[in-house]
Amino acid sequence: MKIKIVAAVAALFLALPVAASAQGVGRGAAEGAHEGERAAGPVGGAVGGVVGGVVGGVAGGVAGVLGVDQRPRFRDYAVHEHHRSYAYDHAVSIGAALPEDGITYYEVPSEYGVQNYRYAIVNDQTVLVDPRTHRIVDVIQ
Q: Average pLDDT of the chain?
A: 76
Helix (H) or strand (E) holding 9: helix 2-20
Domains of the chain: 2-63 (no CATH), 71-140 (3.10.450.160)
Mean pLDDT for the stretch of residues 28-39: 64
Q: pTM of the predicted model, to two decimals?
A: 0.57
pLDDT in tens, 62-77: 457 888 889 999 999 9
Whether the predicted pLDDT of 103 surpasses 90? yes
Mean pLDDT for the stretch of residues 65-91: 93
pLDDT in tens, 112-121: 999 999 999 9
